[in-house]
Every structure is written in C-alpha cells, then in structure tokens.
Chain A
Amino acid sequence: MDCEKYIEQISCLIDGELSAEDEAGLRAHLDACPDCRRVYDAFSAISDEDELVPAPEGLARGIMYSIENKNSSSRPRLFVFGRFTAIAACLALLIFGAARFGLFDMGKDSDADMAEMTLESADSYDADVPETSSSGFITKYNIDNFSNMDLALEQDEQVSSERVMLFGSYANKNCAAMNASDPATNAVRKLLENKFGAGPIKLYSGVIDSENRMFKVSGKREVDIIYMLLTCVHLQPNSPFDESEDEPDPDYTIVFSDDSTLTLWYIEENIYCRLSNDENYYALGQKTEFEACLNSMCKDD
C-alpha cells in the first residue's frame, strides 16, 4: 500500500506545501481510501487554528521598563528583590529572630520535623504546600491585609521610578511558578501588578533553618507572603534613627544564600529594611503582619 507515503503528504497538504502534481494524486487517493481520509480529517482538526489570547497588559510596559532602566545609568538603581530571591531559591533563606523577641517557641520535635521538611522541599520543589501547612489563615490573611494596603498605597499618587520595583524578574524563571488558581495569591498579584505595572510576582521556595530561632520557609505561600511583606514602598527614605546614637539592634536579619543580607527594624508598626548594599526602604508589610506570618509558619509545623 502507498498509504504511508500519502499520510506524509497529508501533513504537507494541510500546510499548503505540496506541489500541484502531488496534491492531485493525494486527493484522488483520499477519495478512494477511507483510512487516509480519517488521517486527513484528524490532521486538519488538530491544525484548526486556536484563537490567540491577548498578551497580558503589563507585558510591553514591563519589557520597556526593563530595557530603559538597564540602559540609563543616571537613574537611581532600582531595588530588585528578585535578584536575591532568585539566588535564594532552592538554596537557603534564613531569618534570625533577635533574642530579645523570644516570640517563637520551637520545640525539639518541631526541629526534627523541620529537618525532614527541609529535605522534602528541596526535592519536591513545585509540589503544592501540603494542606496541613498551607493554612487557611494565610490565605485569609492575604486578602484582608492587602485590601488595606491597597488603600494605603493609593494615597501615593505618583509612582516614580525610585519607588517602582520589578516583580518577578525574568531571571527567576527556574523558580516555582505561582499557583495561579489560588484566589488569594492572585488578588495580591493583581494589586501589585496594577500598582507597579510590572510582571507577575513569582514565588520562591526557600528554607529557613530551625537552629537558633531560625525559621524555615518551605511553602510557596509562605515565601510569597514574606516576599510580599518585605518588598518596598520607599527607597532611601529618611533614616528613622537618631544620628547621635548608635543604631539599635535589628529585629531580624534575613540571610540569602549569596551572603547578602536584609536587615529589619521595627519602627513602631512599620518595618524599616536595609540591604547589604546599604539601600534602605520601608517594607510594604507591617510589623504585626510579618510576625503573624512567621508565627503561622511555626504553628503549621
């Protein structure tokens, strides 16, 4: 049978790449051979043009923003949280609680669990957070707090380049993607996307060691929330500290796997942050939210 030859030609026919002569021969065969006719129908059916979805609104803006920002050395360098988190992903992210805050009661048992979970999270990187640890608390927490933050942010009328953050730098492509079906994370993402006109926020899986009051971050949501809470609203704000005195001890230090650090001070309800390159900013999140997040991680374990 010549069917095999004809079947290959069917593919070309659909693509309009068959010579007139071959096409005539093939069409005659298709009329006579029901099996090949079915192949033709099937190949045509799977080539039926699917509609194109529109590109996301922020895409072009994000691209042009990246390009122009990169090419302009006169502008202040922007804080791109992603450059830390990209490196931190899959490796280690440590949050040290200052001793004076003895907030988190970490029992021996939970230490053992943590070691186990740490290994697990390295392997099943894209696995969903288990139901037991992705507490409803966090989900609810996201929505409630971010509607408040939205209001707070809206009061700032201008988003100048100094305040814009790049969310989800494309450099983070190897990191786990956000669970798009989760309404809470989506709500947060939408908010930040609208606000900053940048790409979607990515999630980063990190691990926080359990020794010495360090906290592991193993769930995507947890990392997301921490990330979100610690992103910036003001770069290089006025220092809240009295210049004539020594700076107070920080409340937390986050150590990324490349040894860069993010140091946090609670200034009343706000979180004042300093990166190891001496950039300072106020976090989007507040003290109570950040602690609630850390607390919930401990509860979940």
Chain B
Amino acid sequence: MTRQEELELVTAVQNGDSSAFEALVLENQTRVYNLALRMVGNEDDAFDMSQEAFIKAYNSISSFRGDSKFSVWLYRLTTNVCLDFLRASSRKAHSSLTFTEEDDEKEMEIPDERFSPQDEAERKELREAVRRGLKKLPADYRAILVLREIDGLSYEEIGLALELEAGTVKSRLFRARKKLCEILNADRNFSYSAASNNQKEV
C-alpha cells in the first residue's frame, strides 16, 4: 500500500466510513500482532493487545495527521498498550520494566562464539535463545529492539513511535543489544558450541 493509498483510507475513516478501516487493519495486522507478541510474550495477550491497539487507532483516528506513516503511528499505540499491560501485570512478571543505570555503566562483555552460528540448526537455536532473552529484557529495551527488527524502522521513525529523541534511540538500541548479549551469554540452555568462556572486558 502506498503512502497515498494509506492516506486516502485514513481520510475515508475520518469522514465516517468505518469499513475503510478494514483495509488498514489487514495491511498492518501482521506486524502489529508480531510486535505485541514479542512485547507480551504469549499469543492470547498479543491478540488482545493488537485488538486494543487497532480499536484505539480507530477511536483516535481524527488525531492522525499523516506526519508519519500510519504504521508507525500504529506501532506507537501498540507499544503503549503493551507497556501499560506489562506495567499492570509487572507485579507477577519476572522481568523488570525499565532498565537501571547500573546496568548501563557496566562494560561490554565480549560475546562468545555461540553468536556465530555455523549452520541452520545453530541459527535456529540462536533464534530461540534470542526469543527467550527478549522476554528477560526490560520492557523498554524490548520495545525498541522489536520495533527495529519488525519493520526495519529508521531511528527517526522509532523516535516517532516511542516519543524519543534520535540520539536517545541510538543509545538505547545499543544498550538494549548489549543487555541482550549479556543475557544470552548467561543462558546455559543456549549451548550448541563449546562456548569459550571469554569474559574479557574491553
């Protein structure tokens, strides 16, 4: 769907044609659902979050001015819905919602060779370890990484989606990756190669 087609649909919805919204849902549902799925970690909640995000989008569509792509605006709603949900359930969640300064001050551990998969089986194992690791990542780190990966958004678009300055996007993405590597380094279930315990710091 081109930006122009997208805008025409949005305008139609803004003018009261609710059926035009369906095309926007169909166009974006896969990425919105995957974003939600990676944020909340299970299919049932991801379904609810996606639904809520789209309904919110519909209800507040008059405030969409076309400053960004419609999808980016949707990601912003989805991320917020997921973060609210995670906040509400953080009492029972295992992961923390926000990162701490201390984490970020630590120097980067050198990742071991498990990060260089040699074949498809190893790549699969790595992907699974990344999925597990994502769940352990603080939610705002998770949000920025998932946004980056799901649709290849630019720093500027991520900034729009998360209401962050471009500079913050850059440093937060770096920190999120660093943290994820740390989590994976410590993941004992992720073991396809004889991991060297190279923990030297730079």
Contacts and interface: CB of A to CB of B under 8 A. Distances in A.
Interface of A: 1, 3-4, 7-8, 11-12, 15, 17, 35-36, 38-39, 41-43, 45-50, 52-56, 59-60, 62-64, 66-68, 71, 125-126, 168, 170, 172-174, 177-178, 180, 199-200, 202
Nearest to B91: A125
Given A1-B202, A47-B149, A60-B29, A174 B88 contact: yes
B12 interface: no
Nearest to B55: A66
Counting chain A CB atoms within 10 Å of each CB, which of B107, B178, B198 scores highest?
B178
A116 B174 CA distance: 48
Nearest to B151: A52
Interface stretch (B2-10, B64-72, B126-134): B126-134
B33 A48 contact: no
19 contacts: A8-B170, A15-B155, A17-B155, A35-B200, A38-B113, A41-B116, A43-B181, A45-B115, A50-B127, A53-B37, A55-B29, A56-B47, A59-B51, A60-B25, A63-B25, A66-B55, A168-B44, A173-B49, A177-B44
A289 B110 CA distance: 60
Interface residues of B, number: 62
Contact of B177 (A11, A49, A54, A168): A11
A39 B126 CA distance: 15
B139 interface: no
Nearest to B107: A4
Given A11-B170, A38-B111, A170 B42 contact: no
Contacts of B32: 55
A12 B170 contact: yes
B50 A55 contact: yes
B177 A46 contact: yes
A172 B88 CA distance: 12
Contacts of B112: 38
A200 B92 contact: no
B115 A200 contact: no
B30 A55 contact: yes
Given A60-B25, A67-B58, A170-B52, A55 B155 contact: no
A200 B44 contact: yes
A67 B130 contact: no
A202 to B, nearest CB: 7
B80 to A, nearest CB: 13
Nearest to A11: B174
Contacts of B30: 52-55
B48 A45 contact: no
Contacts of A45: 115-117, 126, 130
Contacts of B149: 47, 49-50
B143 interface: no
Contacts of A173: 45, 48-49, 52, 85, 88
A71 B150 contact: no
B162 interface: no
A64 B25 contact: yes
Contacts of A12: 170, 174
B51 A62 contact: yes
A36 B110 CA distance: 8
A1 B108 CA distance: 13
A199 to B, nearest CB: 6
Contacts of B22: 60, 64
A15 B171 CA distance: 12
Given A54-B30, A66-B55, 13 more contacts: A15-B155, A17-B170, A35-B110, A38-B111, A46-B181, A47-B177, A59-B50, A60-B26, A62-B51, A68-B18, A173-B52, A180-B44, A200-B44
